[in-house]
Structure 1
Amino acid sequence: MVLLRIATRGSPLARAQAALVADALVLANPGIAVETVVVETLGDRVQDLPIEDLGDRGVFTRSVQVALLEDRADVAVHSFKDLPTEPMRGCQLAAVMCRADPRDALVSKDGCRLTQLQKGARVGTSSARRTAQIRRARCDLSAVGLRGSVGTRVQRVHEGDLDAAILAVAGLKRAGLSSVISEVLDPEVFLPAPAQGALAVEVRDDRPDIARAVTRIDHAESRIATSAERAFLRGLRGGCNAAAGALAVVSGDHITLTVGKFDEGSLGAEVLKGHTNEAVALGYRAAELVLAGGSVQAS
């Protein structure tokens, strides 16, 4: 029996995501056993400051990667949207799990939809991307900083501290909280974060045997879609909390990539289409268009 140690953050959602990876690894590799190694990250330790004030990329991933590199774990599991686009030396992306719903959701106190929230309603989020899109969709709403676990954020809404909050559909479902969703937000109104809903599984470069085992749970379509989205983010030279969104849809050999950068004066979404073997190039092309101020569809 081969034991694989899986490094993860300690939040309930992170543990649930690590369990999904563990189950998939055991199913795909008979003879493997797994155990969880819980790692505290900077983002876990410091929750009284906005993410952008922590002064470091990878605030939810770097410590997990260090555990992998220091041989305290064999596998590292991340929410892919939290993983910096600049690779960590010594680590390799061995698998992208089959992606869950990438969209954002509104959780509101009274079950209201976004259009039904009262003027001046307080909407919680820690994301610059979500904040910008709240203001674009409803300039009469007030975006309020919100940190903490998925359960904590939902609780603040239900206790009346906030009128609503925006969270990832995938995170709510994995945390067993799908029943609190008031509205799943249309990506045409709210573009999700690049790679939102996907789980990334890393291994060390010097362990090809472990890489082979992990590669068996890789989902090709999810890898292609997220590679285009993350290439867009990297082309913008933006971090994981940049005010930018991207969503790629793969259909056969073709990919459609919708992107947006929600800065003041931005011109809205760009839509590009191409072949799946050009997914990364398509993402970089999208970034070039956005940075150049393009406003027409490209294909």
Structure 2
Amino acid sequence: MEFVSTTAASNAPRSYSRIRVRPLTGAIGAEIFHVDLRRLDDLAFAELRQAATDHLVLFFRDQQLDLDEYQAFAARWGSFGSDPFVATMDDHPHVIRVLKEADEKHPLVFGGAWHSDWTFLPTPPSWTLLYARDVPDYGGDTLFANTYLAWEWFSDTFRALLEPLVAVHSPQRAYGADARHNDLLENMKILYGEKAHLSGRHPLVRTHPESGRRALFVNPGYTTGIEGMRPDEAQSLLSYLFQVMTHPAFQCRFRWEPGSIAMWDNRCTLHNPVSDYLGKRRELYRITIAGEAPYLTAAA
């Protein structure tokens, strides 16, 4: 593949009165300082919303929230989403406990591939939040990729080819009745096959409802084909798109600490948890926020 790049302007920060923003890379992600997520007034939250639109993934350090406070912060971003294949906590039905114990025998991690969350649903999640309770002293990072930049990197001719395409998304490979690889997740309750017949058909390119920008909306985890194409044709095109979407020039990498919170916009990002901490404990809490049906508007 030819040389791929972006510029620092792609992730440049604004000046704010209530928060401080430090971008992680030139492509995506920003750490947010001077905030206690338990005590956010409306102005500080409005600044967070703008920063989220600009940087796509926000990272907070040293937060001391209990799960009720964590849910309350998440609810400010919208209605809670559904999680069709993973059991939530009995006492917090919108929270998934993402746990890998130190004595587990296999390196497989939950969600361990590039993906955007639950894209097979008719209305995939807008935001996902992840709150770290206990993490390794090293290892267990999460990668994020900016799918606006991948779309914008392509030539006008190639974008015109992609615009009318509709992608097919399915949970079958990851959560169907035969997807027994998840048995290796010893401390996660996977709900096999219950809704594995679900499939979604969404524009391969979507318009973000808040920014108005276009982003590629396919991912290796759940995208299985393209309407009107033979399987080999679709896989050849998708493989190329995935290669560009996950290029290092469009990524950032987040190192977790206890009390860290990451939140990402599933409509314009991919993420991938790194499996490099077998023998160490990692415990986080995940919440998804409901989204809207993907759509593509005509170019201005």
Question: Which TM bucket (shorter chain)?
Answer: under 0.3
What TM-score, normalized to structure 1? 0.25
Task: Give TM-score scaled by structure 2 length.
Answer: 0.25
